[in-house]
Chain A
Amino acid sequence: MGEHILSWMTFFPVIGAAVIAFIPSEKKEIIKTTAAAAAAVPLILAVQLFMNFDRGVSAAAGTVESYQFVEHYTWIKAFNIEYFMGIDGLSVPMVLLTAFLSFLCIFASWGINKSVKGYFSLFLILEAGMFGVFCALDFFLFYVFWEVMLLPMYFLIGIWGGPRREYAAIKFFLYTLAGSVLMLLAMIGFYLHTVDPETGGHTFNMLHMMNQGNHDAWLQASNIRHLLWFGLFIGFAIKVPIVPFHTWLPDAHVEAPTAVSVILAGVLLKMGTYGILRISYPMLPDMAQWFAYPMVILGAINILYGAYCAMAQTDMKKLVAYSSVSHMGYVLLGMGAAAKAGLGLQSAQAAMNGAVLQMFNHGTITAMMFLSVGVIYDRAHHRRINGFGGLGMQMPVYFSFFSFCLFAALGLPGLSGFISEAMIFMGAFPAYRTVAMISALGIIIGAAYVLWMLQRVFLGPKNDEYDNLPDINTREMFTLVPIGIIVLILGVYPMPVLDLMRVSMTNLIKVVAG
């Protein structure tokens, strides 16, 4: 497996899905165990990646050598499409996050009883798509993986979701496909007008596209670059989601089953920002610089709008969904600030590393939040914030878990969310002082909606209706505890993740901000 570790990681879940398809549907436990095994292998491989990843690789940006575990084969010769996989400091944290959350989510789905076979096969295909997106270095390959996820996601929301699942599923699909089509057109534009330095033909190779010297005259024209930037940006913005493209998100999150919400918020949203950093920034660095200020403003809008919306929600899951919108805003703030021309390297590094760290941290924290909400929903069968009260006495262990992740979400020092947000502000403040100051208000509003929910659900007079609710069980703890440990460790000592990304992100800053 050593040579093709990324391929094994990506396609092992597919093998698992195929095996599951041939297990008789009555054997539910066997299906679930198989799924767990199929998700465990990528996790083991991810740990192996983490151990063997060279943190100090010194190759220049845009060279194959700056990527590791590279696999490079011809796929479709007629179109110059390659099977080109490899990871750098930007993808490694995302790959780790995917492997880790997918594995836990199999256990979070243990309670699924409707069409078990379909659920777990689709879930594993989804996992494969996520790995593929984070590892692909060929634009076509990236696009295929990006789209492969849509179909399983549609079914996971649409079949196993809540009451308005049909609406939420098709809305998710339509929004994302609309974005993907724009990305597709931009991709074809790049394909037709990037000259492969070796063959002189068209190419889908992302590294060639990143090298500005390979762009032909058409691609160098300013108006074309603006169009391509917006094509890519809207495609990714829908996934992030950046306000005003966010309206699919609350619907999809609320209707999706718990484990799918976790994947949706924990990994899928990161693909939007990952795409901007992997594709838009290095391929159109001048545009990235030009768009730095709008990006920061969009970030601020996301932070404040998401936070205010979260405060107004009466459904716990919807609150968490809007908090995701708000937290992804910090990522945008960091990304935008890091792209500002003439910003000192140190500030840019703080902003950029903070943004990527925030992607990782939000993935873990929001996963915990959704899992926690799932726990109460499984017991009470509703999620109305005002329908509870005094649960803290009834379910003390659950109370402590939930408060832990809520405090992480509001950015309490000592937990991981604080570090990344602080880094982002350290970078954004010298770059765009006013916007950074306004965005910082988001932290206060964040504390407000989090604490207010905590108060309404767990404190106050006890609602007699819930006298018999059992406390959190071992399986649920098994899904929450590992994430909690990571949140705690990274809150005290974030270097394990920061070390991974440092070199690559510095390279990216140099490409974008000169």
Chain B
Amino acid sequence: MELTNLNIPSWSDMAFWLPEAVLALTFLAALIGDLVVRGRRTWVPMIISVIGLVIAGIYTVLGLGQPAQTIMGDLIIVDGMAAFFRLLFIFTGLATVLFAWTSEEIMGRGRENKGEFFALTVMMTLATCVIAEARDLLMLFLAMEGVGLVSYVMAGYMRFNLRSTEASLKYVLFGAVSSAIMLYGLSLLYGLTGSMDFAGIREVLMTGRVDAFSLLVAVILIFAGFSFKVAAVPFHFWCPDVYHGAPTPVSALFSVGPKAAGFALMIRFFYSTLATGPDAAGMAALTSQINWPLLLGAVSAVTMTYGNLVALRQENVKRMLAYSSIAHVGYLLMGFVLLSEAGLAAILFYLLVYTLMNLGAFFYVTAINNHLKSEDLSDYVGIGFRAPWAGAMMVVFLASLTGVPPFAGFIGKLYLFTAAMDTSLYWLVIVAGLNSVVGLYYYFKVVKAMFLTSPPDDQDMSPLKLHWLQYVVLAVLAIPTLALGIFFGEFSELANSAIALLTTGI
């Protein structure tokens, strides 16, 4: 690359990057705010973060519908899909901040550095947003490492808790190895094509003058890096330990934010470099040397089956939800197998639904942990009757995760199944269908403990008093989980248009 060809970022680019700018400033303001109050009045950084996230959200909404823009010297693209993910991440960040505020694990007596948590959540939101906007290998790697660094700190937030420290260390080690693998793949790809830019890579690949085997190696290495981020088998080993060890609000954030970001990146990277469009005769020759659908389909099938089967045996709700999130990655990958537009739109819609229901389930676990100091299934006996409204909302989340109508999870599955059936992946749909039935068993093991099992006579059955904010956040998650199961037209169109913009924007 010659220097003269470089686009120097200009200030005018910032007009398209206002949400990110606000998030960056919020991160600094929250940190400084925490320093000013010397870590005592933790509501100060909390309020700063909330305000910043809300403003960033407003800017994102205002920017909806703008044509796709390439900014920052072609490193960043702001398009429909980026906007979709921005909204998703900002919502996740906001929910996490509010819920963490009520969590004993983070805000409890004797905990250190409480205020920093909010700053870190904002940073995580920022980094995930950038991942969804990267259109250059360099930016891709930087953004992923950004998410990684924040994650390592957050996983180890309970510094004197062994499990939490272990989670952090594990995450760092696995993260470093997978980053190295991915970086190797990225450098191979750069070496093969001489371009860092996704569109540039595609152009070179289209000429067909690239060694197919080297390309295969590069792509598989990169895919391995992505698989680590989304925790797909066989790169999932860190996931249950990290989710189990990290404070529950952090696990909630991990199970949604970085995962969705990984999918955003996968979609953009593979779609803009490798997809076989109508004009891509050279491409087809390159990519058809290996049976991609079978390979990706196998990863998808193995991931969902593994996640579900192992989740069956878990007695700790948090750990079970960790394995369940692996299973959901398997479902999500179904939409990815043929890189069809319907499949990608299905992934976006499912991510939206998944965010709602999975955050909800993790937050309920957080709320209960405040009182029981435990996430063991055996301690959940009778808990449904002690806080009936919260319990009912947990049933909504779990039923939605199972994929039972009339909840949003069903629509997400229907969307994915339809996309896969439409591309004739019948075997994969059948595997996924059977997996949903397996999922029912362990999700409803929780429901069974909460409502069905008779508590022993000496058990405390006094009503649990949950923080009012917890009810608010849970309701904000539960109501759309129900409503999206009945009126999903608007949101499916949003996902469709996000993908349509992506595919025309290349």
Contact = CB atoms under 8 A, between A and B. Distances in A.
B469 interface: no
Interface stretch (B53-61, B88-96, B357-365, B426-434): B426-434
B404 A188 contact: no
B487 interface: yes
A208 interface: no
A471 B375 CA distance: 50
B487 A184 contact: no
Given A144-B405, A192-B422, A154 B444 contact: yes
Given A76-B489, A143-B405, A144-B405, A192 B421 contact: yes
B410 A166 contact: no
B437 interface: yes
A159 interface: yes
Interface string B393-407: 001000100101110
Interface in B402-422: 402, 404-406, 410, 414, 417-418, 421-422
A79 interface: yes
A181 interface: yes
B399 A181 contact: no
Contacts of B418: 188, 191-192
Contacts of A115: 385
Interface in A124-168: 143-144, 147-148, 150-151, 154-155, 158-159, 165-166
Contacts of A148: 405-406
Contacts of B433: 181-182, 184-185
Contact of A78 (B422, B430, B441, B492): B492
A174 B492 contact: no
B325 interface: no
Given A143-B405, A188-B417, A169 B430 contact: no
B13 interface: no
A184 B430 CA distance: 10
A229 to B, nearest CB: 15
Contacts of B395: 151
Given A115-B385, A155-B451, A169-B452, A184 B414 contact: yes
Interface in A426-482: none
A446 to B, nearest CB: 35
Given A79-B492, A151-B404, A158 B437 contact: no
B417 A166 contact: no
Contacts of A185: 417, 421, 429-430, 433
Contacts of B399: 151
Nearest to A163: B454
B44 interface: no
A184 B444 CA distance: 21
Contacts of B414: 184, 188
A270 B421 CA distance: 30
Contacts of A78: 489, 492-493, 496
A177 B404 contact: yes
Contacts of B453: 166
Interface residues of A, number: 33
Contacts of A143: 405
Contact of B405 (A76, A147, A155, A188): A147
Contacts of A188: 414, 417-418, 421, 429
B421 A189 contact: yes
Contact of B451 (A77, A158, A177): A158
A112 interface: no
A138 to B, nearest CB: 13
B184 interface: no
Given A76-B487, A147-B405, A184-B414, A174 B441 contact: yes
A170 B451 contact: no
Interface centre among A77, A169, A174, A181 (most CB of B within 10 A): A181
A77 B406 contact: no
B128 interface: no
Contacts of B212: none
A173 interface: yes
Interface string A203-220: 000000000000000000
Given A78-B496, A174-B437, A181-B434, A159 B421 contact: no
A155 B492 CA distance: 31
Nearest to A182: B433
A384 B291 CA distance: 62
A181 B437 contact: yes
Given A148-B406, A181-B433, A76 B452 contact: no
A170 B448 contact: yes
A19 interface: no
A178 interface: yes
A446 B162 CA distance: 66
Contacts of B385: 115
Contacts of B488: 76
A455 B492 CA distance: 63
Contacts of B496: 78
A148 B399 CA distance: 11
Nearest to A155: B451
Interface string B471-506: 000000000000000011100110010000000000
Nearest to B388: A118
A362 B395 CA distance: 34
Contact of A170 (B405, B422, B444): B444
B436 interface: yes
B440 interface: yes
Interface centre among A75, A154, A182 (most CB of B within 10 A): A154
A144 B452 CA distance: 25
Given A147-B410, A185-B421, A158 B452 contact: yes
Contacts of A184: 414, 417, 433
Contact of B404 (A147, A169, A178): A147
A243 B410 CA distance: 29
A383 B72 CA distance: 78
B452 A150 contact: no
Interface string B441-467: 100100010011100000000000000
Contacts of A177: 402, 404, 436-437, 440
A153 to B, nearest CB: 12
A77 B489 contact: yes
A177 B441 CA distance: 10
Nearest to B424: A218
Interface string A167-203: 0011001100110011011001101100000000000
B292 to A, nearest CB: 22
A169 B449 CA distance: 13
Interface in B21-50: none
A110 B97 CA distance: 47
Given A184-B417, A188-B417, 20 more contacts: A75-B489, A78-B492, A78-B493, A115-B385, A144-B405, A147-B406, A150-B404, A151-B399, A151-B404, A158-B448, A159-B451, A170-B441, A170-B448, A173-B440, A174-B437, A177-B440, A178-B434, A181-B437, A182-B433, A188-B414
13 contacts: A79-B492, A143-B405, A147-B405, A147-B406, A151-B395, A151-B404, A155-B451, A166-B452, A178-B437, A181-B434, A184-B414, A185-B429, A185-B433
Ranked nearest first, the 3 interchain pairs of A and B with the lowest CB-CB distance are A181-B433, A158-B452, A147-B405
